[in-house]
Structure 1
Amino acid sequence: MHNLNRISTVMALLLEWVMVALMVTLTVVVIVAVIARLLGESFSWYDEVAAIMLAWITYYGSALAALKRRHIGFDTVLLALPPRARLAALLFGEAVVLTFFALMAWAGFQVLAILEGSYLVSLTWVPVQFTQSVIPIGALLFILGQLLSLPDYWSKTARGISLEHAEIEEEVDTEMSRSAGHVIGEVR
């Protein structure tokens, strides 16, 4: 279990850095393109590169959200089931998600094979395979994130703990302690 936590931590850190780098780069690209357009110059590559970077942010961010179990879920519905049915429903849901992303990875590799020899329209030296590699890589990272976070999710679900409610309660407790600190400070 300790090794899973270590792998999860490393994966989360790497994905966070990738996300930050992509978002900063996209921001710089957009700002430079806007300034260039205001100066009467326009980059032919801007739209294509920005769209690709936005797709990369979506895929890698989705894998990070899977690792942290931050995708939209229905914990309340799941936890309303009796314990055995709850765990069966959890396994069924995980199987559906993992199957979908396995198929997506397989289809992504098929797409990469078809795109061999193709290059971007505006940057003719950049292979389309490179830009579209995010599909199978993102799908595999999503699967890895789901699998790494599954033991903790299983344990909490088995105990009847909602990930959504636990996070909300933690935020409420944090705000309450902050408010209490301010009130105590005002009384003095």
Structure 2
Amino acid sequence: MRRLEHIFVRANGWALILILGAMPLIVGANIALRYLTGHSLSWADEAARYLMIWMTFVGAGLALRMGAHVAITNLQDALPGPGQKMLRGAIVLGLLIFFGFMVSVGIEYAERMQYQMTPALRLPFVYVYAAMPVGFALLILHLMLVAPQFITAGTFKGAAAPESDPAVREGANG
């Protein structure tokens, strides 16, 4: 199971790297072409905008995994140990419900936009709006993977936790 988690986190990270890498390449090529030839790519700004949307949703789960989202812990810190665990469990449950709701809303939006085309790329908007349900589904998966440790200890796994886990190293070596 830990090995699958490791593969999932690495794949999510590589998707984010590819998206982030494509954005400056497209924008840089557009700038270079504009100044060198006087012509620019008509679709570059649109592609960079849609890649940024995808990057936001694909990266949200990794940020959640590392505890990088904004958190106010005043109430949690004021509670005794068992109360803190109950509050963190309620937070996880609330997030799961919210993320599941957003997956369904995202699917509905994507379905509604499937016949409209983007102005420059001429892609169906379903590909842009699909970032929302995909991103929230990734958030659900990441939350489910970090929830036990978060509820019991109030900590997050961090980006390197699966690699530093002895069970993962043994699974990779054996």
Q: TM-score scaled by structure 1?
A: 0.76
* 2:167 aligned with 1:139: no
SS at match of 1:79: helix
- Cα deviations by residue, 1:132-183 (Å, 9 ceiling, x for unpaired): 21110101110110111111212313xxxx55xx9xxxxxxxxxxxxxxxxx
Return structure 1 stretches of 4+ with deviation > 4 angstroms. none
Q: In the alignment, what sits opposite 1:21?
A: 18
Match of 2:41 among 37, 43, 55: 43
Query: Deviation of residue 77 (structure 1)?
Result: 4.4
How far apart, in 2, do the equivalents of 1:112 and 1:72 lie? 28
Greater gyration radius: 1
- Cα deviations by residue, 1:75-99 (Å, 9 ceiling, x for unpaired): 4642331122111211221122222
* 2:128 aligned with 1:103: no
| More relative contact order, 1 or 2 (CA 8 Å, 6+ apart) | 2
- Cα deviations by residue, 1:109-148 (Å, 9 ceiling, x for unpaired): 1011111222211122x22111221110101110110111
CA contact (8 A) 2:33 2:40 kept: yes
Match of 1:89 among 83, 87, 90: 87
1:73 to 1:7, Cα distance in 2 relative to 1, 3 A: farther
Percent same amino acid among aligned pairs? 23
Q: TM-score scaled by structure 2?
A: 0.82
Q: In the alignment, what sits opposite 2:56?
A: 58
CA contact (8 A) 1:64 1:145 kept: yes
* Mean Cα deviation higher: 20-29 or 65-74: 65-74
The number of equivalent residue pairs is 156
Gaps of 5+ in 1: 167-188
What's the Cα RMSD here? 1.9
